[in-house]
Structure 1
């Protein structure tokens, strides 16, 4: 029983703290691969030592310290047999003399994000590297988010790590003067982390609260550094969407669409904070795509019911967003809003036009939207075919069960 309890505690700490521990180890070691090796060694030791000595008061500090000493052992072994011994000895000496405390740890993940988004790295590698190292998304999850092959994503990550090592890219938050030019990549990373948490690309659960919570925490840290309108907009959008998380699934984990959600379950504090941030951001007159998405979420959040939602305003905001960021996904969302305003036929015409261009053919939500419009119009065979295509494309279990339920109802 003791061994099982300790193992469960180690697994809990890994889920909650491993990325933060890794970020600190990367700062201390200056080497991604060595830090990952040290992280896993530390958790391996924890399983045995915590059974003997008990779980420490501060597991994160214990694991960072243990990982650091394990890395020192690795470097000592390498120094004995490596031709570049002077360099390894210098790295070893610096590591042994490194001074750190748990107080330094809190913003390590923000430092790591800015390192992964450094302009010296290829643009198409920055976000995948951050999602892998900062958020522990698998290569497959990242590839799905980017509609790319896992091997392509893995290659980008390996090259980016090598570039950081060889170019000695500093592990630090940039100065205030440098922040604006580095901001877009970081905002995009936090946005994608939140999206993966809000609607997991694969797996048994609809959401991953650990990722949405971490994205919001990083958004708050970033806003302390740079309270720009788009930072406010991103944080507002995340808070407003997260406010609905509890209502998006039934107690058994089944998907509940926005129309059917119990709005009394929505988090009023998050809605109030998010709406306040939206007002501040829009009043600056310097808003961009994140502010516009937050404004759309705010209109939804403030509506007492689906029928009382201001669909005219939402469509107008999507029109502005589409001009700012031309995107078939934005077009799809706009089509859904237009269907609420003008009826399912109007939405169907727009979605079929997107698919006819060859856009979103492998995006399950596009086929789900087409199926829903066809269902509402009584076009049963077309609805069935579209739902079937959506079912083939989705890898998330709650969405699969929802689509299967729709198909069964059509019978």
Structure 2
């Protein structure tokens, strides 16, 4: 069975174990052990006609049921070896016989549990990728460029934090969406494409909740992801939106994202992710950068600011105002914002350049490069400063 299909089964199997009485941490450990057994026992063949055969040689007609059985036995083995064996005796006696997997899907409960407000954002993201996404600790550590031991400690602490949380407590969809958005924004590193993983998980959530903001987030992810092939040049350089080759954009993802967004907006319950998706849709709708409807983008940023009062939204709005009404208007919108905001200096540099002040713009580009959040952005800002300095010397 292919790895992605295995990962899709993880939350449902954990949910079965938790409902049978296992605490979350023990259930998650047992399912990870069962996955190891599955990888060893099942052939790596995703063809529709294949039959999955465990080491016993019998066809696996119900992979979820097989995982539930193996994971439950792993859990019981751990219980028997634990000093609290006597307190768990009732669970041991209740070992179920192998059979079809239960039809109840606990994926949504796991989303809510992994995004519990008692967890830090970093811990919530790691636990979501592990328990809902089915990734290994090594894969998550590689994606976040931290040692595996560090990530293991983070996940262990998170599991201990939520182990005492009742599994039937209502969850906060907004918190889950923020966690998934954090995952998406990490993009790609190591051998795991976190942007693609976030899209996969958000599809699950949107399908299971019928929540307009879940649909809005999915649309936003798809519209951003559609531009990914054009974001960097062959040499790895960052390519700004206005300079991207729009022929490289993924039209299939754009079409899907716009359709999902239109359906969500029709419900007339606007949220921040729908507003962000609407802005992204206006960008991809323009055949050229010059045809971008900046006036309507400003209107959507006004909605986003009304919904969130986010300084980042106000910063992005200043850029849009600069395009719609001229750089002086953009600088005026920027004037009321905290200069310590991430990318504030880069935005100011761009607007000053548009306003015909290359001296100030070059200085600000260089300043912004020194505090850039990543190497590609730092290099891009450094080149912008160098370009203006070279022009003034010439």
* TM-score (norm: length of structure 1): 0.69
Greater mean alpha carbon deviation, residues 128-137 or residues 259-268: 128-137
Counterpart of 1:133 in structure 2 is 127
Give the match's secondary structure for 1:133: helix
CA distance in 2, matches of 1:226, 1:36: 23
Q: Which residue does the alignment assign to 2:363?
A: 384
Q: Secondary structure at the match of 1:251?
A: coil
Structure 1 unpaired stretches of 5+: 1-9, 144-150
- Separation in 2 of the partners of 1:386 and 1:250? 21
| Equivalent residue in structure 1 for 2:234, among 242, 245, 251 | 251
Q: CA RMSD in A?
A: 4.2
What is residue 300 of structure 2 aligned with on the other side?
317
Secondary structure of 1:235's match? Answer: helix
- 1:165 is matched with 163
Partner of 1:350: 333
SS of the equivalent of 1:287 reads coil
SS in 2 for 1:162: helix
Q: 1:212 Cα shift?
A: 2.7
Q: Which structure: greater helix fraction? A: 1
Q: 1:291 to 1:318 in 2, by over 3 A?
A: same
Mapped contact 1:109–1:134 kept (Cα < 8 A): no
Q: Secondary structure at the match of 1:317?
A: helix
Q: Deviations over 1:341-361 (max 9, x none)?
A: 2333433343353234x5x2x
Give the direction of change, closer, same or farther, for the CA distance of 1:90–1:279 in structure 2 (3 Å limit): same
Change (3 A) 1:26 1:390: farther
**CA–CA distance in structure 2, aligned partners of residues 343 and 66 of structure 1:** 60
Contact 1:204 1:398 in 2 (8 A): no
Listed one character per residue, the Cα deviations across residues 278-306 of structure 1 (whole Å, up to 9, x for unaligned) are: 33333332222222112111211211111
Residue 394 (str. 1) matches residue 388 (str. 2): no
Q: Matched residue pairs, number?
A: 358
What CA deviation, in whole Å up to 9, does each residue of 1:89-143 have, x standing for no partner? 4455556657565x979x66544213324xxx4x252754441122255599599
Taking structure 1 as reference, are residues 109 and 384 closer, same or farther at Cα in structure 2, changes over 3 Å only?
farther
> Offset at 1:244?
1.3
Taking the aligned partners of 1:86 and 1:325, their CA distance within structure 2 comes to 52
- 2:124–2:158: 8 Å Cα contact kept in structure 1? no
How far the C-alpha of 1:408 sits from its partner, in A, is 3.5
Matched ranges for 1:8-407 at <5 A: 13=3, 20=8, 23=11, 26-27=14-15, 29-30=17-18, 31-34=23-26, 37=29, 55=44, 72=73, 76=77, 79-80=80-81, 82=83, 84-92=84-92, 97=97, 99=99, 101=101, 109-117=107-115, 121=116, 123=117, 125=119, 127-135=121-129, 161-170=159-168, 182-197=172-187, 210-356=193-339, 358=340, 360=341, 363=342, 365-376=343-354, 377-380=356-359, 383-395=362-374, 397-407=375-385
- TM-score, normalised to structure 2, is 0.72
User: Does the CA contact (< 8 Å) of 1:116 and 1:127 recur in 2?
Assistant: no
Q: Secondary structure at the match of 2:210?
A: coil
The 1-side partners of 2:68 and 2:376 are apart by 38
Of 56-65 and 130-139, deviating more is 56-65
Unaligned runs of 5+ in 2: 47-51, 55-59, 131-139, 390-394
1:227 is displaced (CA, Å) by 2.8
> Mean alpha-carbon deviation: is it higher for 345-354 or for 285-294?
345-354
SS of the aligned residue for 1:253 comes to: coil
Aligned partners of 2:265 and 2:38: how far apart in 1?
49
Q: Alpha carbons of 1:244 and 1:139: their partners in 2 closer, same or farther (altered >3 Å)?
A: closer
- Three-state SS of the structure 1 residue aligned to 2:263 is helix
Question: What displacement does 1:21 show?
Answer: 6.3
Work out the CA distance in 2 between the residues paired with 1:70 and 1:45: 9
Does the residue aligned with 1:255 lie in a helix, a strand or coil?
coil
Rounded Cα–Cα distance in structure 2 between residues aligned with 1:221 and 1:215: 10
Compute the displacement of 1:401 (Å): 3.0
